Amino acid sequence: MPGFKDIIRADLNIFMNLDEFATTHTVNGKKMAVTIDNNELIERAKKAKSNMDGIYVKSTLIYVKSKDFGQLPAVGSALNLDGKIFKVTDATNEDGLYSIHLEANRS
Protein backbone atom coordinates (compact mmCIF):
# COMPACT_ATOMS: atom_id res chain seq x y z
CA MET A 1 0.00 0.00 0.00
CA PRO A 2 1.47 3.38 -0.99
CA GLY A 3 2.22 5.90 1.70
CA PHE A 4 0.62 9.32 1.95
CA LYS A 5 3.60 11.09 0.32
CA ASP A 6 3.47 8.62 -2.58
CA ILE A 7 -0.19 9.48 -3.11
CA ILE A 8 0.61 13.22 -3.07
CA ARG A 9 3.36 12.73 -5.66
CA ALA A 10 0.93 10.80 -7.89
CA ASP A 11 -1.67 13.57 -7.54
CA LEU A 12 1.01 16.12 -8.40
CA ASN A 13 1.64 14.33 -11.69
CA ILE A 14 -2.06 14.57 -12.56
CA PHE A 15 -2.43 18.19 -11.40
CA MET A 16 0.58 19.31 -13.44
CA ASN A 17 -0.19 17.11 -16.48
CA LEU A 18 -0.46 19.15 -19.69
CA ASP A 19 -3.36 16.93 -20.80
CA GLU A 20 -5.29 17.52 -17.57
CA PHE A 21 -4.92 20.86 -15.73
CA ALA A 22 -1.61 22.49 -16.65
CA THR A 23 -0.74 24.55 -19.70
CA THR A 24 2.64 25.62 -21.01
CA HIS A 25 3.71 29.13 -20.01
CA THR A 26 6.96 31.05 -20.03
CA VAL A 27 8.14 31.83 -16.50
CA ASN A 28 11.24 34.00 -16.17
CA GLY A 29 12.20 33.07 -19.73
CA LYS A 30 11.76 29.31 -19.27
CA LYS A 31 8.87 27.27 -20.69
CA MET A 32 7.23 25.00 -18.13
CA ALA A 33 3.93 23.42 -17.12
CA VAL A 34 1.88 25.88 -15.07
CA THR A 35 -1.54 25.52 -13.51
CA ILE A 36 -3.27 28.87 -13.08
CA ASP A 37 -5.95 28.83 -10.40
CA ASN A 38 -7.97 32.01 -10.50
CA ASN A 39 -10.90 30.24 -8.79
CA GLU A 40 -8.88 30.20 -5.58
CA LEU A 41 -8.51 33.93 -5.97
CA ILE A 42 -12.27 34.46 -5.77
CA GLU A 43 -12.07 34.12 -2.00
CA ARG A 44 -9.04 36.36 -1.87
CA ALA A 45 -10.75 38.89 -4.14
CA LYS A 46 -13.25 39.65 -1.40
CA LYS A 47 -10.44 41.86 -0.17
CA ALA A 48 -10.26 43.54 -3.61
CA LYS A 49 -7.77 46.34 -3.91
CA SER A 50 -8.14 49.46 -5.99
CA ASN A 51 -5.46 52.12 -6.05
CA MET A 52 -7.25 54.86 -8.02
CA ASP A 53 -9.65 55.34 -10.90
CA GLY A 54 -8.57 53.25 -13.88
CA ILE A 55 -5.88 51.34 -11.99
CA TYR A 56 -6.52 47.94 -10.45
CA VAL A 57 -4.51 45.09 -9.01
CA LYS A 58 -4.35 41.98 -11.20
CA SER A 59 -3.91 38.88 -9.03
CA THR A 60 -2.89 35.48 -10.30
CA LEU A 61 -2.19 32.25 -8.46
CA ILE A 62 0.08 29.78 -10.21
CA TYR A 63 1.33 26.32 -9.39
CA VAL A 64 4.62 25.00 -10.76
CA LYS A 65 6.76 21.97 -9.98
CA SER A 66 9.68 22.97 -7.78
CA LYS A 67 12.06 20.89 -9.93
CA ASP A 68 11.01 22.85 -13.04
CA PHE A 69 11.07 26.28 -11.40
CA GLY A 70 14.18 26.17 -9.23
CA GLN A 71 14.53 28.01 -5.92
CA LEU A 72 11.30 29.22 -4.29
CA PRO A 73 10.92 32.91 -5.19
CA ALA A 74 11.17 35.44 -2.39
CA VAL A 75 8.15 37.51 -1.44
CA GLY A 76 8.57 40.92 -3.06
CA SER A 77 10.61 39.62 -5.97
CA ALA A 78 9.63 40.13 -9.60
CA LEU A 79 8.39 37.25 -11.74
CA ASN A 80 7.90 37.38 -15.51
CA LEU A 81 4.86 35.33 -16.59
CA ASP A 82 4.36 35.24 -20.36
CA GLY A 83 6.05 38.60 -20.82
CA LYS A 84 4.17 40.38 -18.02
CA ILE A 85 5.94 41.40 -14.83
CA PHE A 86 4.31 40.53 -11.51
CA LYS A 87 5.34 40.94 -7.88
CA VAL A 88 5.44 37.77 -5.76
CA THR A 89 3.17 38.39 -2.77
CA ASP A 90 3.26 34.84 -1.38
CA ALA A 91 5.15 31.67 -2.24
CA THR A 92 4.83 28.27 -0.59
CA ASN A 93 6.47 24.91 -1.21
CA GLU A 94 3.79 22.25 -0.90
CA ASP A 95 5.82 19.01 -1.13
CA GLY A 96 7.39 19.67 -4.51
CA LEU A 97 4.69 22.00 -5.82
CA TYR A 98 5.09 25.75 -5.52
CA SER A 99 2.02 27.86 -4.95
CA ILE A 100 2.94 31.40 -6.04
CA HIS A 101 0.58 34.34 -5.64
CA LEU A 102 1.32 37.20 -8.02
CA GLU A 103 0.06 40.78 -8.24
CA ALA A 104 0.57 43.63 -10.68
CA ASN A 105 -0.96 47.06 -11.19
CA ARG A 106 -2.86 47.20 -14.45
CA SER A 107 -4.96 49.81 -16.18
Of the two residues 59 and 1, the one the predictor is more confident about is 59
Residue 85: predicted pLDDT: 96
Residue 20: predicted pLDDT: 83
How many of the other CB atoms lie within 10 Å of CB of 59?
Answer: 19
Q: Is the pLDDT of residue 70 over 90?
A: yes
| CATH level 3 topology of 4-106 | Thrombin, subunit H (2.40.10)
Residue 101: predicted pLDDT: 95
The rounded distance, in Å, linking the Cα atoms of 84 and 27 is 10
- In DSSP notation, 54-93 reads TEEEEEEEEEEEHHHH-SPPPTT-EEEETTEEEEEEEEEE
Give the pLDDT band (50/70/90) at residue 52: low
pTM above 0.85, yes or no: no
Kindly state the average pLDDT of the residues 37-62: 67
Give the pLDDT band (50/70/90) at residue 56: confident
Q: Of 92, 89, 93, which Cα lies nearest the Cα of 103?
A: 89
